[in-house]
Structure 1
Amino acid sequence: MTDREAAARAEMVESGRSLFDRGLATGSSGNISVRLEDGTILITPTDISLGALDPDAIAKVDAAGAVIGGPKPSKEAFLHRAIYAARPAAQGIVHLHATHSAAISCMAGLSPDDCLPPLTAYFVMKIGRLPLIPYHRPGDERLTDAIMRIAPDHPAMLLANHGPIVSGASLRHAMNRIEELEETAKLFLLLRGSPTSPLTPDQIDDLDATFGAASQS
């Protein structure tokens, strides 16, 4: 095992424990992955709490999904592989069933192209537009087509009646993004029924020009 792989395994354990301890991942829900330099993918095992990961018991798969080490991977490993294929710069992915963003995913009348308003600059900078992916049962690989179509232009997606899945240039980058998404979902629910002032298109353009569009990272 290379030093890079050992470090990635340790980071996955630390990240999973942090998510679990703060209530962002409950029971055995959610999954985390890291893509290594050779294209292989480390991913959390099936039916394991993110708060109880073992660095020596993390699944390792190739780009086609064949298991090349460790226990059985999450049944949603195909989602991670699809996003890595669609986003060559992505090196880390986090998928959660976090309460507030999962609640948004169950709401009727959401725009499939952008299901959370641009309430804060940091949401725009880290997420950009958030598309809603139609419902598929967990583990349904037909979801791959929707992911492959939408992921190239979006680092974050919300799976209907399920939860968010977010990629980043590193696992830490993906962690920061999904936490910002969850906080924005919380703000959205807190503000329901109150007049709000989302950022304007000009303000969003200014953020993109200054910090770079989230879709490109």
Structure 2
Amino acid sequence: MSENRLREDLCFWAKSLFDRGLTGGASGNISVRTEDGGLLVTPTGVSMGRLDPARLSRFDAGGRLISGDPPTKEMPLHAAFYETRQSAGAVVHLHSTHSVALSILPDTDPDNAIPPLTAYAVMRVGKVALLPFYVPGDAAMAEAIRGLAGRRASVLLANHGPVVAAKDLEAAVFAMEELEETAKLALILRGTGARPLEAGQIAQVVRKFEVDWD
């Protein structure tokens, strides 16, 4: 895909997420791989609903900013995903309400923070690690991602928000949407005795769709 098309797609999906209330103000950030191995990244302090394709932060394959506005402060987080998941072509980080709420609750499972309530939660999101709280932009957050050694495509940052890596931008957006909807379901169903998928059912989905689930 051409770089111009990638720029347009990034801004389209960012505005779509913003317009649907999945991240507000100037929160959230997105990055996407370019054909030459570089990155296009949302700039710092800019609403995802008002991005300018020409002003996206552009990094070369060596990680140097070569054009555009200064990037999001969460660049170390994005870089850690690309380093540890070679299949990653895009990373999306939001402050979506239900995912943030789940990250704050004391009984959320740190190894499987988003319960496997539906087949699509397993297929598109996989297991989600809950990471501790870090100050936004803290390099320790990136080290926590590296500590997962590529085993998770999605994480919840405690008291902060979800991050998803996927093969391309559309897949990352779809996975993020599924994560947020599953978090919403989990909150709605708390205390009702609702049954998540059983181990055997999860295994069927994992085998059929080749999901990372360990």
TM-score, normalised with respect to structure 2: 0.96
Structure 1: gaps spanning 5 or more residues: none
Residue of 55, 58, 61 corresponding to 1:60 = 58
Paired residue total: 214
**Residues 101-146 of structure 1: CA distance to partner in whole angstroms, max 9, x if unpaired?**
0111111122211112111111011111111011110010111111
Correspondence 1:129-208 to 2 at 5 A: 129-150=127-148, 152-208=150-206
What is the Cα deviation at residue 209 of structure 1? 1.0
Alpha carbons 1:155, 1:215 under 8 Å: kept: no
Structure 2: gaps spanning 5 or more residues: none
- Cα distance in 2, alignment partners of residues 215 and 33 from structure 1: 25
- Cα distance in 1, alignment partners of residues 213 and 30 from structure 2: 20
Tell me which residue corresponds to 1:26: 24
Correspondence 1:69-88 to 2 at 5 A: 69-88=67-86
Tell me which residue corresponds to 1:125: 123
Secondary structure, aligned partner of 1:82: helix
Query: Which segments of structure 1 move beyond 4 Å, counting only runs of 4 or more?
Result: none
- Cα distance in 1, alignment partners of residues 146 and 213 from structure 2: 14
**Residues 39-98 of structure 1: CA distance to partner in whole angstroms, max 9, x if unpaired?**
211000000000000000100124554311101000001111110111111111110000
**Residues 176-200 of structure 1: CA distance to partner in whole angstroms, max 9, x if unpaired?**
0000000000001111110111111
What is the Cα deviation at residue 38 of structure 1? 1.8
Alpha carbons 2:117, 2:195 under 8 Å: kept: yes
> In the superposition, relative to structure 1, how do residues 178 and 31 fare at CA in structure 2: closer, same or farther (>3 Å)?
same
Secondary structure, aligned partner of 1:50: coil
What is the one-letter code of the residue matched to 1:199?
L
Alignment pair present for 1:6 and 2:4: yes
- Cα distance in 2, alignment partners of residues 215 and 202 from structure 1: 13
Residue of 35, 40, 43 corresponding to 1:42 = 40
- Cα distance in 2, alignment partners of residues 23 and 168 from structure 1: 22
Secondary structure, aligned partner of 2:150: helix
- Cα distance in 1, alignment partners of residues 150 and 124 from structure 2: 15
TM-score, normalised with respect to structure 1: 0.95
